[in-house]
Structure formats: C-alpha cells, structure tokens
C-alpha cells in the first residue's frame, strides 16, 4: 500500500521519530533476540575487539563479562549494548587487561573518535590522557 506515508516496508517505516521504540501493547523483545542483537553490534564495531566478551541477558538486562584491552573499550562495549533495542540496562563486568599488547603504544588509533563526539576530546588528546594516568 502506498500513499502520502510511503509504502509499507520502505525506509519511511523505519524512520526515527517521536514514537520510535514504542511497540505494540505488551510486546517484549525475547532475551535470545536481545543477545543476538547486542552480539552483532559488538562484532560489527570496527574499533572494538569483542572476541573476549560474553553477553548474557535476563529480563532485558544485559550483562557483559570477560576482558577488553582498555577502559575506552569497556565504555564503548557498554554504550553499544545500551543502544540496542529491548535493552533495559547494562551491567558491565568487563575487566581491562593489556595481554598481548606492547605497553605504551596504542593499537586502537581512531577508537577514541567514538568518545570524542561526547567528551569533546580528540583521539590524540584522549590517548595522551590515558598514557598519563597509566
């Protein structure tokens, strides 16, 4: 069906608006689907190595456990999970480890750009402050 609102299944049906995220009455996304979506978001992020992250979901609450290479990666994983549909809250139990990395060098150039939009820091400034606190 098409008309002034476009056709069903078109981009128009997926646009962001004031009612985005408000599904049918009593609809709740399944835990399996939330886990799948969160896992895909983590996997598809080009700046995060999610190979040591485990995702669990209970009552819409996502628990991230395992390890990541930096505090920035820990925050990034939490934010990615939080942004997935159906997620009510995120419990971040990720540990920061430097295994397999040379100390004093950053393997994640550009990854701080995700945070820079929110904190106002450039990737270089963020890396410098991380080195000073280490």
CATH number of 28-98: 3.30.1340.30
Tokens of 102: 């040379």
Q: Which residues, in sequence order, are CB contacts of 36 under 8 Å at separation 6+?
A: none
Is 74 within 8 Å of 68 (Cβ atoms)?
yes
pLDDT score of 20: 78
pLDDT score of 19: 84
Tokens of 106: 């950053």
- Per the confidence metrics, is the pTM higher than 0.85? no
45-98 per-position pLDDT tens digit: 999 999 999 999 999 999 999 999 999 999 999 999 999 999 999 999 999 997
1-49 per-position pLDDT tens digit: 445 554 444 444 456 789 877 889 988 899 999 999 999 999 999 999 9
pLDDT score of 56: 98
107: pLDDT strictly greater than 70:
no
């Amino acid at each position: 069906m098409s008309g002034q609102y476009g056709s069903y299944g078109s981009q128009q049906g997926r646009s962001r608006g004031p009612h985005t995220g408000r599904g049918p009455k009593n609809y709740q996304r399944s835990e399996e689907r939330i886990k799948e979506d969160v896992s895909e978001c983590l996997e598809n992020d080009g700046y995060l190595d999610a190979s040591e992250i485990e995702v669990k979901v209970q009552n819409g609450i996502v628990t991230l456990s395992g390890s990541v290479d930096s505090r920035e990666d820990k925050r990034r994983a939490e934010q990615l999970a939080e942004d997935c549909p159906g997620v009510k809250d995120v419990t971040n139990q990720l540990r920061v480890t430097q295994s397999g990395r040379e100390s004093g060098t950053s393997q994640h150039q550009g990854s701080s750009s995700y945070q820079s939009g929110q904190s106002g820091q450039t990737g270089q400034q963020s890396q410098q402050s991380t080195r000073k606190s280490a």
